[in-house]
Amino acid sequence: MEKKSTRKPKLRFIGFSESWEKTTLGELLTFKNGLNAGKEDYGDGEKFINVLDIIQNNFITYDKIIGSVKASEKNKEIYKVEYGDVLFQRSSETREEVGQANVYLDREKPALFGGFVIRGKKKSDYDPIFINHLLKTPLSRQEITSKSGGSTRYNVGQETLSSVEITIATLPEQQKIASFLSSVDERIELLERKKEKLEAYKKGVMQQIFTQQIRFKKDDGSKFPDWEEKKSKDVFMNISNKKHNGDLPILSASQERGMVLREENGIKIQASEKSVTSYKIVEPDDFVISLRSFQGGLDHSKFLGICSPAYTVLRNKIPVEPQFYKFYFKKESFITRLSQTVVGIRDGKQITFDNFGQIKIPYPSVQEQKKIAAFLNTIDQNLETLDSQIQGLSTWKKGLLQQMFV
């Protein structure tokens, strides 16, 4: 195909002024469908790239690959993936996800690729990191998805991918862009690793705290009293206050963030005053047993609002530090015990207050509860800071991509 000059990107490095050139993926790559093996061949053998490897990684290396497959020497050669090869997702239930691409960046070890994947074998000179970012831009994604076919499932084939038009820089500019974006990705990955380590630390230290392997001390260095153990019904009571005019915000349960404003949970429903007359008032520091508490524990509320009558609202009947129980009620061991009290099946699963009330929970002195809560909240604040930094860098990078590619 004859290449022709096109427009230039808005944001460029000093020293580059040439127009980018329009070409097709078929000019850069030769395509092949992946290996289809028997069921007995999966789970052992050679590393085997599949769809999850494409969509869950910024780029693919040998050690990141999840699956493996037994293959003959002939198939190892036919379905080999090497440094710089591009992998595409062949099909998807939604048009927006079909044809997602990723690049293989392991120089040391080749891999194989599966039947739900199309390999683009490098046949022209390009920087694979540049191509990887280019194929993730909205313009490239639109070019690929618009060519996909199907109704219940959307597909792309080798001919489709060959015809996809892209606009590329000269190789030196590709390499400059790739180097810069790699440094941004490295920073994001560093922050993500820090977050993962801190999450693991939090999980481990919570286990030690709630099993009393770690104990806190008073400000004067003396010990707190021994922990008591109480039935939940002796610490919390069931509240069913429906005395409102429907003017309070509607709250819904979010396993990750506790009780949130319903619109923050992706639910946009206009409710009339009459339709929410049976809704229960939730006050700040109340806890809620939702229909999914058997999976994610109890949800703490920092809001004043109303919630579905299907929820059970809990309020402390003796002095507590709610933030202490906010963490305790999300512990895996507590959720396991809570799930054993479930009545009903499938979507009808419920946890009644009577059953919850029989579960024994720890009751340290309120002063020690406060110490523990403050310590764990500090960890959460650090996690939020890291998450904010990751999101900020990712947003900044997204803005750069829109200006650095055409």
- Judgement on whether residues 329 and 403 belong to the same structural domain of the protein: no
| 247 token code pair | 């003017």
Grade residue 342 by pLDDT with cuts at 50, 70 and 90: confident
In a domain, 5, yes or no: no
Among 128, 150, 168, identify where a domain stops: 168
In a domain, 175, yes or no: yes
Give Cβ neighbours of residue 203 (< 8 Å, ≥ 6 apart): none
Q: What is the average pLDDT value for the chain, to the nearest integer?
A: 93
- Give this prediction's pTM: 0.84
Query: What is the spatial distance between Cα 122 and Cα 26, in angstroms, rounded to a whole number?
Result: 10
Average pLDDT over residues 109-113: 97
pLDDT tens per residue across span 65-77: 999 999 999 999 9
Provide the pLDDT for residue 7: 77
Among 168, 188, 204, identify where a domain stops: 168
In a domain, 185, yes or no: yes
How far is the CA of 87 from the CAs of 18, 62, 100, 200, in angstroms?
A: 29, 14, 8, 32
Average pLDDT over residues 93-108: 95
> The domain containing residue 107 runs over which residues?
21-168
- Judgement on whether residues 264 and 329 belong to the same structural domain of the protein: yes
Provide the pLDDT for residue 309: 94
- Judgement on whether residues 163 and 33 belong to the same structural domain of the protein: yes
Half-sphere exposure of 61 toward its Cβ, with a 13 Å CA cutoff? 7
Query: What is the spatial distance between Cα 91 and Cα 197, in angstroms, rounded to a whole number?
Result: 35
Task: Provide the 3-class DSSP secondary structure of residue 254.
Answer: strand
- Judgement on whether residues 26 and 86 belong to the same structural domain of the protein: yes
Region of 165 on the Ramachandran plot (φ > 0 left; ψ -120 to 50 alpha; else beta): beta
DSSP string, 111-164: EEEBTTEEEEEE-S---HHHHHHHTTSHHHHHHHHTT-B-SSSEE--HHHHHH-
- Judgement on whether residues 387 and 323 belong to the same structural domain of the protein: no
Q: How many domains does the chain have?
A: 3
- Judgement on whether residues 91 and 202 belong to the same structural domain of the protein: no
- Judgement on whether residues 305 and 391 belong to the same structural domain of the protein: no
Q: Does residue 22 contact residue 166 with C-beta atoms inside 8 Å?
A: yes
Per-residue pLDDT at 266 exceeds 50: yes
Nearest to 386 by CA among 134, 195, 218, 125: 195
